[in-house]
Amino acid sequence: MVPVKYFAKTVAIRLLTLIIAIYITVVIANLGGFIDRIYIGQIRFNVESEIARNPSFANLPENLREKYINERVQAIIRSRGLDKPFIFRSFIYFRDALTLNLGRALILRSASGSSLVKDIILERLPQTVLLFTTGTIISALLGIYLSLYMAKSAGGTFDKSVTFFAITTSIVPPWFFGIIFILIFSFYLGLFPSGGMFSVPPPSTLLGYFRDILYHMALPLLAWVFNGLGAWAYVSRNILIQVSQEDYVVVARAKGLPERLVLSRYVLRPSLPPIVTNVALAIVNSLTGAIITETVFDWPGVGRLLYEAILSLDAPVVIGITVIYAYLYTLTVLALDLIYGLLDPRIRSSR
Amino acid sequence: MSAPLGLREIVKEVLKSKSGLAGLCILLFLTILSLLVPIYFPKGNIVNAWNDPLHWVKYPRLAAPEWVEIFIGKRLPRTLDIVNSDFKYLSIKMSSGFKYVRREANFYYDYDDFPSDFIIFLNTSYRSSPPYVAVTIIRPDGLKVKLFSGTLTSSTQALYISTDKDILSNIADFVTKVTGKPPSALSFIYIFAERESLPNVKEVKVLKSSYFKPPRPYRIVVKALMYSKKDKLRIEAIIYGKVYGLAGTDNERRDILLGILWGTPISLAFGIVGSVVTTVIQAFLGAVSAWYGGKVDEVLQRATDIMLVIPILPLIILIDFVYRLTLWRLLEVLVVFSILGMVTKITRSMVLQVKSEQYIEAAISYGASKKRILALYITPRITPYTFANIVLSIPSFVFLEAALSILGLGDPLLPTLGKLLDNAYEGGALYHGYWWWVLLPAGVIMLIAIAFVLMYYPLDKILNPRLRER
């Protein structure tokens, strides 16, 4: 039996949350219309300097020239819809964002010269997936693997020391490790490059090309895994220990089931849903990259793009990235909600 | 569920454990260090001094901490400041309105490495025209190095021995004269080089005063021809070292230790205020949401979901970039964006469990008001969690400040730990190996993080009693 009512309610609530979040993001990313005012100022500046450079306007009287400038500026403002009040425009931006009609960037361009926000983001996405999604998956796998040993000897020296290490490294952000790793591994030991993605010029063979990327990836990847590993180990350990203290696990042991079977069937299986949730959300999170880590390592990914967009006040790009993230996040959470609702009747009733 | 613990019991629990005590000791140590700032730097406004390049003229640029000598096993040069009164008058001659002065200062140089820089400041007050000045150095081995001769062009002139082209070519002439060969590259360190080791700049060795028995000094000889009896010349020579103080200096010659001492309490205050305010608000709203239920709950929960979908960091960066926030304004913005969050969700689920317990029912039945129950019976139950969360998220706020600084969005004036790190990053410390500039501020940030993790560690056991050893 599929609980239709529960599903409908979950979907409705999540979508409503998404819609409101996107509207708030649109308003904040435009700083409540402040970005448009800066933009209008830029239009005016551009028109004025264009006319100042043009010799055919040199003989025009001051007031006529002023009038011409005003007309030009007003025409451009009208053509871009900037003459309407922000509250009105915010709903146009909102509609575009909601329908993922991301439009054109104000300033940024993709390497191929396109000004479409979609092109600009898609161009950066592979680099971010390559580094951060890979890093997230590696640290999740290693961390969960580590957590099995921690949970096995809970309270022991190994568990205690890894827990301390885990809490500490998960608090210290990856860019911070990055700075220290650059100093040690790049400057002093000379093992890895300090940043960037390719050597200049890039190697000509395909194999050499991949090796070059790996060589550049090593340090940021290490920093990312170093930060994530501990958190994965610690959180998964807590889940595992909690489950292994359930009565049915005690019963399974009392029945004399072999430890391997108890672990795989009675402990691991019920621990999977929260761990899978964490992994799914972390992978979604990794898609937007990491602003500061990418900046420190000069990695040309989505995080760096977001930062460039902020520095050039390119609101469409900022909105584009954040809206895509909000969509992915909501859809993932929704999918997990529905799957667990289907699998576990207890969740349905607690809503 | 854990037994309800008051704030006092929690603090006691932290202090009882070794790790909690260790964490507290680290924090106390950092606080005491910061309190020592007025002793270390007694004069005036530190923030102004920090941002004023003139204040740091007499400090060496990019000097390592003095204690590196222990690891290197060499005696590295300190900064020698030879002030006006050190320049003794050897002779003063007057004739028909001219004044001819000869002055000399001695210094002993016994370090295993060359100085990093050498500047002679010449301040004059004159009536008609500026004096004619000649500066020569007489080395312990008796060789003379002519540095400068000419009419001063302004009343405050500095001779930058290490960069001035004319002076450098004078030094090169000296090398050529002594060895018969021109030097391999222009440099001022030949002044301090042994005669036999010339002329290759890569092979030169330091000529120490102590090579002679008794030790012989270097002598700076300044001759000045002044055109009026009342004209004056003030001389100060600074031979910049390669090490300074406990934490070295940065590329603007600033004492990094001062930045650390001043920045640590600022970063700590930022972390503590940010963490306490956001956690308490979030926990309170979570409790309210669960306790009052109904519409209040629905609204707060939906609002929390919305906040969790919005990526906050990029928006904060945008706001900080456009409005150039000061540190405290940034804190306000952060608080506004973190009114609702994960803590709201977690405290809500905790209070939902507490709500169904019997003592709450008892309180309701004897007629306690909703507010009273929330304040007196429910709040204590979420206090341990709230406290632990505060402790654990203080470092996150410290790192957030550092992260924004690394992006160049730190406070424009205050030297915070993050700002120091940003200066080092921007100054290329990572790529030139100025390790002290990076590692010392980073080390203090790490120390703060570790202190709070150590204090959190015993709390973790209180919060998750089921996770204790089987």
Query: Strand, helix or coil at B438?
Result: helix
Instruction: Taking residues B112-137, report their average pLDDT.
Output: 92
CB neighbours of residue A254 within 10 Å: 8
B127 touches chain A (CB under 8 A): no
Instruction: Taking residues B139-147, report their average pLDDT.
Output: 92
Searching chain B, which residue's CA lies closest to the CA of residue A15?
B306
CB neighbours of residue A203 within 10 Å: 14
pLDDT surpasses 70 at B465: no
| B307/B290 Cα distance (integer angstroms) | 18
Residues of B in contact with A318 (CB under 8 A): 314, 318
Q: Which of B293, B286, B396 is nearest to B340 (CA)?
A: B286
pLDDT at B381: 87
Rounded to a whole number of angstroms, the distance from the CA of A149 to the nearest CA of chain B is 14
Rounded to a whole number of angstroms, the distance from the CA of B363 to the nearest CA of chain A is 26
| A56-65, A70-79, B416-425: least confident range | A56-65
**Would you say A119 and A280 are in contact if contact means Cβ atoms under 8 Å apart?**
no
B196 touches chain A (CB under 8 A): no
A81 touches chain B (CB under 8 A): no
**Would you say B198 and B43 are in contact if contact means Cβ atoms under 8 Å apart?**
no
Helix and strand totals (H; E) in chain A: 16, 0
Of B322, B429, B449, the CB nearest to A168: B449
pLDDT at B237: 94
pLDDT surpasses 70 at B222: yes
pLDDT surpasses 60 at B306: yes
**Confidence band of A1 (pLDDT split at 50, 70, 90):** low
Most distant pair of Cα atoms in chain A: their distance = 101
pLDDT at A48: 85
Report chain A's mean pLDDT, rounded to a whole number.
87
CATH of the domain spanning A117-311, picked from 1.10.40.60, 3.30.379.10, 1.10.3720.10, 2.60.40.1930: 1.10.3720.10
Per residue in B333-358, pLDDT (tens digit) is: 999 999 999 999 999 999 998 888 89
**Would you say B438 and B430 are in contact if contact means Cβ atoms under 8 Å apart?**
yes
Strands B144-151 and B132-138: antiparallel
Taking CA atoms, B468 is separated from A226, A249, B4, B354, B457, in Å, by 26, 17, 18, 22, 12
Identify the residue with better confidence: B464 or A71. A71
Residues of A in contact with B460 (CB under 8 A): 163, 167
Rounded to a whole number of angstroms, the distance from the CA of B37 to the nearest CA of chain A is 27
| B98/A319 Cα distance (integer angstroms) | 76
Taking CA atoms, B313 is separated from A21, A25, A84, B317, B320, in Å, by 15, 12, 30, 6, 10
Instruction: Taking residues B12-27, report their average pLDDT.
Output: 90
B469 touches chain A (CB under 8 A): yes
Q: A18, A31, A172: which to substitute to probe chain B, counting the most B Cβ within 10 Å?
A: A172
pLDDT surpasses 80 at B330: yes
Q: What does the DSSP 8-state code read for residue A108? A: -
Searching chain A, which residue's CA lies closest to the CA of residue B318?
A310
Residues of A in contact with B306 (CB under 8 A): 17, 20-21, 24
B456 touches chain A (CB under 8 A): yes
pLDDT at B445: 96
Question: Could B314 and A20 be called an inter-chain contact, meaning their C-beta atoms sit closer than 8 Å?
Answer: no
pLDDT surpasses 70 at B211: yes
A21 touches chain B (CB under 8 A): yes
The domain ranges of chain A are 4-98, 117-311
pLDDT surpasses 90 at A99: no
pLDDT surpasses 70 at A150: yes
Distance from chain centroid for Cα B213: 43
Q: Look up the ipTM and state it.
A: 0.89
What type of residue is B339?
I
Question: Could A155 and B456 be called an inter-chain contact, meaning their C-beta atoms sit closer than 8 Å?
Answer: no
| B90/B68 Cα distance (integer angstroms) | 40
**Confidence band of B410 (pLDDT split at 50, 70, 90):** confident
Name the token pair of A252.
């399974």
Rounded to a whole number of angstroms, the distance from the CA of B432 to the nearest CA of chain A is 7
Supply φ then ψ for residue B233, to 5 degrees: -135, 125
Strands B232-240 and B80-82: antiparallel
| B102/A109 Cα distance (integer angstroms) | 67
pLDDT surpasses 80 at B155: yes
Supply φ then ψ for residue A170, to 5 degrees: -75, -20
**Domains in chain B, start-ordered, CATH in brackets?**
7-47+255-469 (1.10.3720), 66-240 (2.60.120)
| A1/B104 Cα distance (integer angstroms) | 102
Counting residues of chain B whose pLDDT is more than 70, the rounded percentage is 97
Per residue in B87-110, pLDDT (tens digit) is: 999 888 888 778 899 999 999 999
What type of residue is A156?
G
| A323/B97 Cα distance (integer angstroms) | 82
Query: Strand, helix or coil at B283?
Result: helix
* Helix-, strand-, coil-residue percentages of chain A, each rounded to 5: 80, 0, 20
Question: Could A17 and B306 be called an inter-chain contact, meaning their C-beta atoms sit closer than 8 Å?
Answer: yes
Searching chain B, which residue's CA lies closest to the CA of residue A153?
B469
B22 touches chain A (CB under 8 A): no
pLDDT surpasses 90 at A350: no
Question: Could A173 and B403 be called an inter-chain contact, meaning their C-beta atoms sit closer than 8 Å?
Answer: yes
Question: Could B392 and A171 be called an inter-chain contact, meaning their C-beta atoms sit closer than 8 Å?
Answer: yes
Identify the residue with better confidence: B221 or A56. B221
Query: Strand, helix or coil at B104?
Result: strand
Identify the residue with better confidence: A62 or A223. A223
A250 touches chain B (CB under 8 A): no
Of A155, A156, A325, the CB nearest to B311: A325
Of B313, B399, B438, the CB nearest to A172: B399
pLDDT at B272: 95
CB neighbours of residue B235 within 10 Å: 22
pLDDT at B61: 92
Rounded to a whole number of angstroms, the distance from the CA of A60 to the nearest CA of chain B is 37
Instruction: Taking residues A37-48, report their average pLDDT.
Output: 85
Counting residues of chain A whose pLDDT is more than 70, the rounded percentage is 97
| B78/B322 Cα distance (integer angstroms) | 44
Of A20, A28, A310, the CB nearest to B321: A310
Residues 28-47 of A with CB under 8 A from B: 28-29, 31, 34-35, 38
Instruction: Taking residues A58-67, report their average pLDDT.
Output: 80
pLDDT surpasses 70 at A242: yes
Question: Could B399 and A176 be called an inter-chain contact, meaning their C-beta atoms sit closer than 8 Å?
Answer: yes
Per residue in A153-170, pLDDT (tens digit) is: 877 888 888 888 999 999
What type of residue is B357?
E
Counting residues of chain A whose pLDDT is more than 90, the rounded percentage is 37
Per residue in B351-389, pLDDT (tens digit) is: 998 888 899 889 999 988 999 999 888 988 898 889 999
pLDDT at B466: 58
Per residue in A172-220, pLDDT (tens digit) is: 999 999 999 999 999 999 899 888 888 878 788 888 888 888 999 999 9
What's the sign of the alpha-carbon dihedral A30, A31, A37, A42? negative
**Confidence band of B258 (pLDDT split at 50, 70, 90):** very high
Query: Strand, helix or coil at B90?
Result: strand
Question: Could B317 and A310 be called an inter-chain contact, meaning their C-beta atoms sit closer than 8 Å?
Answer: yes
Residues 170-189 of A with CB under 8 A from B: 171-173, 175-176, 179-180, 182-183, 186-188
Q: Which of A76, A124, A310 is nearest to B316 (CA)?
A: A310
B3 touches chain A (CB under 8 A): no
**Would you say A230 and A165 are in contact if contact means Cβ atoms under 8 Å apart?**
yes
pLDDT at B470: 40
pLDDT surpasses 70 at B189: yes
List all residues 6 or more positions away from B301 whose beta carbon is below 8 Å from its beta carbon: B289, B348
A58 touches chain B (CB under 8 A): no
Q: What is the Cα gyration radius of chain B? A: 32
Rounded to a whole number of angstroms, the distance from the CA of A58 to the nearest CA of chain B is 36
**Confidence band of B2 (pLDDT split at 50, 70, 90):** very low
Counting residues of chain B whose pLDDT is more than 90, the rounded percentage is 64
Instruction: Taking residues A238-257, report their average pLDDT.
Output: 88
Q: What does the DSSP 8-state code read for residue B465? A: G
Instruction: Taking residues A283-312, report their average pLDDT.
Output: 92
Buried residues in B84-104 as b, exposed as e (16+ CB within 10 A): eebbeeeeeeeeeeebebebb
| B175/B186 Cα distance (integer angstroms) | 10
pLDDT surpasses 70 at A346: no
pLDDT surpasses 60 at B457: yes
